[in-house]
């Protein structure tokens, strides 16, 4: 049986939680990576966490999420979400952009849960009202 595919929210949340410390520890003096905003991620490790082949995780990041979230700026330059190589680093995410996307996905998820909860509560009230009307 194939493993369950993680949602965009789950995948980006895992990347954020595992790498936030690395992002804030960047300093120009030590230069642990090519750029502050571009953070290399371990795709093999992510694949293990979600019990997936690493090519599936790479494809999700490069072909799906990068395509979905990269955009052309008004000056003609392009803002990317994921890059195969940035300087000497490979498999990098634009971490501040990932944080913004993740905040939006978390907000959408909260709205979905709230709406679903309200709908469920309304259904229970409706069923109770019908039962009371039938009994009375």
Domains and CATH numbers, the chain: 8-109 (1.10.10)
In this prediction, residue 14 carries a pLDDT of 98
- Specify whether the CB–CB gap between 81 and 33 falls below 8 A: no
In this prediction, residue 119 carries a pLDDT of 95
- Specify whether the CB–CB gap between 63 and 69 falls below 8 A: no
In this prediction, residue 136 carries a pLDDT of 77
**In sequence order, what are the residues at sequence separation of 6 or more whose Cβ sits closer than 8 angstroms to the Cβ of residue 127?**
none
Model confidence pLDDT, tens digit, residues 4-40:
999 999 999 999 999 999 999 988 777 788 899 999 9
Local structure of residue 3 (DSSP, 8 states): P
Q: For all residues of the chain together, what is the average pLDDT?
A: 94
In this prediction, residue 3 carries a pLDDT of 84
CA-to-CA distance for 123 and 109, rounded, in angstroms?
Answer: 21
CA-to-CA distance for 68 and 117, rounded, in angstroms?
Answer: 29
In this prediction, residue 124 carries a pLDDT of 94
Q: Residue 108: phi, psi to the nearest 5? A: -60, -40
Angle between helices 95-135 and 8-24 (to 10 degrees): 140
In this prediction, residue 67 carries a pLDDT of 96
């Amino acid at each position: 049986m194939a493993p369950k595919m993680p949602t965009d929210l789950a995948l980006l949340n895992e990347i954020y939680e595992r790498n936030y410390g690395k992002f804030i520890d960047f300093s120009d003096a030590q230069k642990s990576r090519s750029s502050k905003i571009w953070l290399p991620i371990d795709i093999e490790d992510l694949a293990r966490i979600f019990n997936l082949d690493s090519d599936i995780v790479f494809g999700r990041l490069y072909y799906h999420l990068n395509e979905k979230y990269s955009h052309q700026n008004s000056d003609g330059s392009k803002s990317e979400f994921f890059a195969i190589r940035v300087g000497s680093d490979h498999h990098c995410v634009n971490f501040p952009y990932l944080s913004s996307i993740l905040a939006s996905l978390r907000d959408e998820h909260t709205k979905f849960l709230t709406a679903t909860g309200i709908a469920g509560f309304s259904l229970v009230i409706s069923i109770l009202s019908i039962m009371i009307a039938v009994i009375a």
